[in-house]
Structure 1
Amino acid sequence: MNEHVRVAVVGGGPAGLTAAAALAGRVDGPVLVLEREAAAGGIPRHSEHSGYGLRDRHRVLSGPSYARRLAAAATAAGAVVETEAMVTGWAGERALEVTSPRGRRTVTADAIVLATGARERPRPARWIPGDRPAGVYTTGQLQQLVHVHHRPVGRRAVVVGAELVSWSAVLTLRAAGCRTVLLTTELDRPEPRLPIRPVRTRTRVAAIHGTGRVSTVELEDLRTGRRREVACDTVVLTGDWVPDHELARSAGLTLDPATLGPRVDAGLRTSRPGVFAAGNLLHPVDTADVAALDGRHVATAVRQWLADGAVPADPGLAVVADPPLLWVTPQLIHPGGPPPPRGRLLLWTAERRSLPLVTAVQDGRVVGSARLPWPAAPGRMFRVPYSVIRAADPAGGPVHLRL
Structure 2
Amino acid sequence: MTERVRVAVVGGGPAGLTAAAALAPAVDGDVLVLEREPETGGIPRHSDHPGFGLRDLRTFVSGPEYARRLTRAARTAGARLETEAMVTGWAGERTLEVTSPRGRRLVAADAVVLATGARERPRPARLIAGDRPDGVHTTGQLQNLVHLGRRDLGRRAVVVGAAAVSWSAVLTLRAAGCRTVLMTTEYARPEAYTAFRLPGRLAFGVLVRTRTRVVRVNGGDRVTSVDIENLGTGARHRVACDTVVTTGDWIPDHELARTGGLDMDEATLGPRVDTSLATSVPGVFAAGNLLHPVDTADVAALDGRHVATAVLHHLSAATPLGATPLPAAALVGGVPLVAEPPLRWVVPQLLRPGGPPPSRGRLLLWSDAFRPFPRVAATQD
Number of positions where the alignment pairs a residue of Structure 1 with one of Structure 2: 363
Aligned partner of 2:342 in structure 1 is 324
1:153 positional shift: 1.1
Please list every run of 5 or more consecutive structure 2 residues that lacks an aligned counterpart in the other structure: 319-325
* Inter-partner Cα distance in structure 1 for 2:263 and 2:306: 21
1:315 positional shift: 1.1
* Inter-partner Cα distance in structure 2 for 1:348 and 1:123: 23
* Inter-partner Cα distance in structure 2 for 1:39 and 1:214: 32
Conserved in 1, the CA contact under 8 Å of 2:226 and 2:239? yes
CA-atom RMSD, angstroms? 1.0
Aligned partner of 1:390 in structure 2 is none
Aligned partner of 2:246 in structure 1 is 237
Query: What are the superposed Cα offsets for residues 346-369 of structure 1, whole Å, 9 maximum, x if unpaired?
Result: 111110111111111012xxxxxx
Question: Is structure 2 residue 377 aligned with structure 1 residue 339?
Answer: no
- Kindly provide the amino acid, as one letter, of the partner of residue 249 in structure 2: D
Q: Which has the higher strand share?
A: 1
1:335 positional shift: 3.3
* Inter-partner Cα distance in structure 1 for 2:191 and 2:63: 21
Aligned partner of 2:64 in structure 1 is 64
Aligned partner of 2:18 in structure 1 is 18
Conserved in 1, the CA contact under 8 Å of 2:271 and 2:279? yes
Q: Percent identity?
A: 71
Specify the SS of the correspondent of 2:26.
Answer: coil
Which of 271, 275, 298 is the matching residue for 2:280? Answer: 271
Conserved in 1, the CA contact under 8 Å of 2:31 and 2:79? yes
Q: Which has the higher helix share?
A: 2
Structure having greater relative contact order (Cα 8 Å, sep ≥ 6)? 2
Aligned partner of 1:352 in structure 2 is 370
Specify the SS of the correspondent of 1:217.
Answer: strand
1:191 positional shift: 2.6
Aligned partner of 2:38 in structure 1 is 38
* Inter-partner Cα distance in structure 1 for 2:331 and 2:280: 13
- Kindly provide the amino acid, as one letter, of the partner of residue 335 in structure 2: L
1:136-215 mapped onto 2 (5 Å cutoff): 136-192=136-192, 193=194, 194=197, 195-196=200-201, 197-215=206-224
* Inter-partner Cα distance in structure 2 for 1:124 and 1:251: 28
Specify the SS of the correspondent of 2:143.
Answer: helix
1:336 positional shift: 3.2
Aligned partner of 1:85 in structure 2 is 85
Conserved in 1, the CA contact under 8 Å of 2:86 and 2:100? yes
Query: What are the superposed Cα offsets for residues 239-278 of structure 1, whole Å, 9 maximum, x if unpaired?
Result: 1000000100111111100000000000100111000000
Question: Is structure 2 residue 293 aligned with structure 1 residue 280?
Answer: no
Question: Is structure 2 residue 256 aligned with structure 1 residue 247?
Answer: yes
Question: Is structure 2 residue 274 aligned with structure 1 residue 261?
Answer: no
Aligned partner of 1:361 in structure 2 is 379
Aligned partner of 1:55 in structure 2 is 55
* Inter-partner Cα distance in structure 2 for 1:88 and 1:336: 35
Query: What are the superposed Cα offsets for residues 193-220 of structure 1, whole Å, 9 maximum, x if unpaired?
Result: 4223311110011111111111110010
Specify the SS of the correspondent of 2:112.
Answer: strand
* Inter-partner Cα distance in structure 2 for 1:233 and 1:355: 40
- Kindly provide the amino acid, as one letter, of the partner of residue 311 in structure 2: V
Please list every run of 5 or more consecutive structure 1 residues that lacks an aligned counterpart in the other structure: 364-403
* Inter-partner Cα distance in structure 1 for 2:293 and 2:99: 27
Conserved in 1, the CA contact under 8 Å of 2:344 and 2:368? yes
* Inter-partner Cα distance in structure 2 for 1:198 and 1:56: 33
Query: What are the superposed Cα offsets for residues 101-131 of structure 1, whole Å, 9 maximum, x if unpaired?
Result: 1111111001000000001100111111111
* Inter-partner Cα distance in structure 2 for 1:35 and 1:244: 13
- Kindly provide the amino acid, as one letter, of the partner of residue 32 in structure 1: L
Question: Is structure 2 residue 290 aligned with structure 1 residue 300?
Answer: no
Aligned partner of 1:227 in structure 2 is 236
- Kindly provide the amino acid, as one letter, of the partner of residue 363 in structure 2: L
Distance 1:143 1:313, change over 3 A: closer
- Kindly provide the amino acid, as one letter, of the partner of residue 307 in structure 1: S
1:337 positional shift: 2.0
Specify the SS of the correspondent of 1:320.
Answer: coil
